[in-house]
Amino acid sequence: MKRWFKQKLGRDIMVVLYSFLVIALVGSALTYVYIENRLEANEARLRQLDERVDRLTTMWDEWQADQYDTRGYLLFGDTASLERSSANEAKFQQEINWFKTQVQTRQGELFAEDLQQFHDFYYDVIIPVTYEYAQAQQDGKITETFIDAQTIAELPTAQRLIDQGLVQFNPQRGIDILGPIDEVESALGEYRELMASEKEVVYAEWRQNNNMLQFLWIMSIASFAALILLFVQPFLRRQTRLISRLSIASNRLLKGEIVDLSDQMKREDEIGTMSRSFHKMAETLRDNERHLIEKNHELQAQQEELIAQQEELQAQQQELEEILEQTQQNEQHLAYRNELTETLASRDSLTAYPEIIEKLVTITDSEVGALVFVDESGTYRVTSHGLNDTLSRQLLDSENSVLTRAMTLKTTVHSSKQVASDHPLPYPYYMFETAVPVHDPTDDSIIAFIYLVRYKDRFTQTQMGDIMSFARQLSLSLLRMRLFEEMKREKGKTERILDSIREAVVYIDHSTDDVFVNRPLYEMFPELSDVSSQDLEEETWEEWRNRLVETVDQAEDFTKYTNRLFTEDFPHDSVSFSIRKGEMNLQMYAERIIVGGLSKGTLLVFRDITSETEAERLKSEFISTISHELRTPLSSIYGFTELMVKKQLPNEKQAKYLETIHSETERLTHLVNDFLDVQRMESGSQMYDREQLDIEPVVRDMLTFYEASSLKHEFELIADDARPYELFVDCQKFKQLMSNLLSNAVKYSPRGGKITVELAHHEQIVSIKVKDEGIGIPSDALDRLFDKFYRVDNSDSREIGGTGLGLPICQEIVRGHNGQIHVESIQHEGSTFIVEIPSYEYAVQEAETTPV
């Protein structure tokens, strides 16, 4: 317990203060409660007394009023007064009862008894007697003006009461009523006084209590103040003293004096802790100081030693710097050599000769240098560094120059000579020259020389070794470059060849997986132009294939074929497919490129077979059309002949059938002729039997014939010129031409309309226009209209029969007569075919001037 107090400053004082505070608080509370109770009891008693006095006063007043009422009745016979008085009886009794229950003192009890007696007397005696007297007065039994005592006493009620001994007879008043009244009045007075005195007592007591409370309050404050003075001040004084001791000690410590706080250090509280820390601090400070002094001595010694070392280092550094300079020089040298080797190895060596010779000069510590190339004819080409014209001329032209000698001897040649000139050095000097031949490694012929010049010393052994090795490198580099150039040329040639062929080619290199393509591939697959060529260059075959397959319509065939490329099952056949929804038909085949028994790559070739496919399609279409066209007349001939053979027919029918058979045979003949014409045209063996022909009557005849065979169409010939429309033509062929054009006009205007033929003269030609109002020709078909086997394929024309030969035959005939045919058409409105053939005169003139 004692220890606990010592551990912390102020713990004792705090405990004392808190205890006192608790005692003071409890005591005050108890006192306060006690006094408060006392005060409250006093106040209650005062209230009780006041109430009693009030009630007495009220009671008395009421009784007085009763009395007056009774008297009033007695005097004036006012019965209402009497009734009011008797009604008050119960109330009066109640008040008395209250007093009886509330009384606490002897005097109170007596007083209550007096009141009860008075009440009994008043209401048992006075009121009944008075009532009877008044009754008798009213009845007239009593007539006296003043109340006579005797009369009262003689009243039966009074008589009975006197007999009972409840009242005494009084000769003056009849019955004694004043006695009780006086008694009760005096009792009331006494009681009042008693109350007043009691109130005094209670009040005094209340005041005393109040005084005591005030006294206690002042006392408690005073005692608290005293306690603070008593306990706290000495405590504070004690603590302050301890701290001020510490402060003094620290001041002393600052001044470097010895401090002793041993007594204080033993304490367990904060002061003790502080003192101990202080003590430790003081000791540490002393130790440090000692230490520093020692250190200082040591440092001084070290410094001296360092100065000595520094001097030594400076000497070493100088030495090192010299070595470094040397190394840097060597390094530079090496770097130059590296650069030189790199330059020689790089692709651009051709343009890098000045750089090469410059580096060579630096490395060999020369003044001047040159690369002299010798071509097959023996002429020199010089790339030099520091070589002036004079030296250059001397070198190349002089018979004694090292170069000439080296060329002759085909080996390295050195020379040294004294130069009297003062240029470029300001005094005569020696000039050391060397020329090292560079051999072509393939045939050992000399292709160049390395020429170097020094002014001061000879070339050392090492330098000569360098130069020789450069010569070897240069020769290899030149060879490599020649090979590279050759390869580039070859490659360019191959590329040009590949680009110039019509087929698209993809080459997949097996060793590098690189893909090479030629230009036609880009033309075949324009989609590839959307991708940058750089991206494409880096792509593998797989990526290329994915790009190509996107455009292929038969992607599955394409994939299946290309899947086999790198397997055992290499495809030796070809595959055909269309791209861009039939825009182009391609045939693809693959070849393995085998060099020395090893497969080096795969070549894929894409051939554009669109036109071949188209021709194939046209041909098969043509055959199908021909077959259809042939079958119709054949059906008629076959059918009618069968009927004629197998059935009995009337004569007219037989005749009709025969006629039909005849015309159908004729139709067949035309078809076959058309077909033969085409064949002839294709072989170029068509001959024309020309003659002078006025075409107007020919055309007119034909129109008449057509008019007869078609009811839907109206025909018109416009030939306004008076001159005859004379041509130099094969009549049969001309008729065939016109017949084709007219039958087309009829066929392709299935809803009828007007067909006009217009003949006209121009300068040297006659034009024939055949115009219809039919379905017309779509503009995209106009270009191909005169192609063999071509037929416009749309819903309007599909059902119209034809061989697709009529117009090609027409064109052939017109061209055969040095003419032209063309067409103008608006779809759904009609077409106009315009034939222009030289007039007879012009044609003959031409035929005469043109040598056969």
Partner 1 sequence: MVKILLAEDEEVLRMLVMDTLEDEGYDIDEAQDGIEAYRLIEENDYDLVIVDHMMPGMTGLEVIEKVRKLPGRQETKVMMLTAKSQQSDRDCANEIGVDYFISKPFSPLELVKIIGGIVK
- Point out which residues bind partner 1 (CB under 8 A): 624, 627-628, 631-640, 642-643, 646-647, 653, 660, 663-664, 750, 798-801
> Measured from the CB atom, is 552 or 792 closer to partner 1?
792
CB of 669 to partner 1, least distance (A): 15
- CB-CB contact of 412 with 406 (8 Å): yes
Q: For residues 740 and 833, what is the distance between their CA atoms, to the nearest angstrom?
A: 11
> Measured from the CB atom, is 526 or 801 closer to partner 1?
801
Task: Tally Cβ neighbours within 10 Å of residue 184.
Answer: 20
Tokens 């169409």 locate to 713
CB of 828 to partner 1, least distance (A): 16
Residue type, 261: L
Tokens of residue 179, six digits: 């006695």
CB of 791 to partner 1, least distance (A): 13
CB of 629 to partner 1, least distance (A): 8
- CB-CB contact of 607 with 596 (8 Å): no
> Measured from the CB atom, is 66 or 629 closer to partner 1?
629
> Measured from the CB atom, is 482 or 662 closer to partner 1?
662
CB of 798 to partner 1, least distance (A): 8
Tokens of residue 556, six digits: 């599955």
Please give the torsion angle defined by the CA atoms of residues 495, 497, 501 and 506, in that order, rounded to the nearest 10 degrees: -30
Tokens 């290899």 locate to 476
Tokens of residue 802, six digits: 């034809």
CB of 636 to partner 1, least distance (A): 5
CB of 797 to partner 1, least distance (A): 10
- CB-CB contact of 513 with 542 (8 Å): no
> Measured from the CB atom, is 572 or 656 closer to partner 1?
656
CB of 756 to partner 1, least distance (A): 23
Q: For residues 553 and 586, what is the distance between their CA atoms, to the nearest angstrom?
A: 11
- CB-CB contact of 729 with 802 (8 Å): no
CB of 793 to partner 1, least distance (A): 13
Q: For residues 429 and 416, what is the distance between their CA atoms, to the nearest angstrom?
A: 10
CB of 750 to partner 1, least distance (A): 5
> Measured from the CB atom, is 333 or 670 closer to partner 1?
670
> Measured from the CB atom, is 211 or 624 closer to partner 1?
624
> Measured from the CB atom, is 645 or 687 closer to partner 1?
645
Strands (E), 653-712: 690-694
CB of 639 to partner 1, least distance (A): 4
Q: For residues 651 and 236, what is the distance between their CA atoms, to the nearest angstrom?
A: 168
Q: For residues 511 and 599, what is the distance between their CA atoms, to the nearest angstrom?
A: 10
Tokens of residue 822, six digits: 């063309």
* Residue among 836, 695, 662, 830 at smallest CA distance from 756: 830
> Measured from the CB atom, is 254 or 711 closer to partner 1?
711
* Residue among 15, 10, 14 at smallest CA distance from 242: 10
Q: For residues 312 and 588, what is the distance between their CA atoms, to the nearest angstrom?
A: 86
> Measured from the CB atom, is 622 or 734 closer to partner 1?
622
Q: For residues 446 and 443, what is the distance between their CA atoms, to the nearest angstrom?
A: 9
Q: For residues 557 and 584, what is the distance between their CA atoms, to the nearest angstrom?
A: 16
Tell me the H-state helices in 519-609. Answer: 519-524, 533-538, 541-549, 555-563
Q: Assign 608 to helix, strand or coil.
A: strand
CB of 664 to partner 1, least distance (A): 6
Residue 553 phi, psi dihedral angles, 5° rounding: -75, -40
* Residue among 493, 485, 545, 484 at smallest CA distance from 515: 545
> Measured from the CB atom, is 237 or 646 closer to partner 1?
646
566 CB-side CA count, 13 A: 11
Q: For residues 197 and 203, what is the distance between their CA atoms, to the nearest angstrom?
A: 10
Residue 175: partners with Cβ closer than 8 Å, 6 or more residues away: 125, 129, 149, 152, 153, 158, 161, 162, 167, 168, 169
> To 5 degrees, how large is the angle CA 191–CA 195–CA 199?
170
CB of 806 to partner 1, least distance (A): 17
CB of 646 to partner 1, least distance (A): 6
CB of 633 to partner 1, least distance (A): 8
- CB-CB contact of 782 with 720 (8 Å): no
Residue type, 178: L
* Furthest CA-CA distance within the chain: 213
> Measured from the CB atom, is 388 or 624 closer to partner 1?
624
> Measured from the CB atom, is 264 or 636 closer to partner 1?
636
Q: What is the DSSP letter of 526?
A: G
> Measured from the CB atom, is 637 or 695 closer to partner 1?
637
> Measured from the CB atom, is 107 or 665 closer to partner 1?
665
> Measured from the CB atom, is 726 or 773 closer to partner 1?
773
Read out DSSP for 739-769? Answer: HHHHHHHHHT-TT-EEEEEEEEE-SSEEEEE
CB of 742 to partner 1, least distance (A): 18
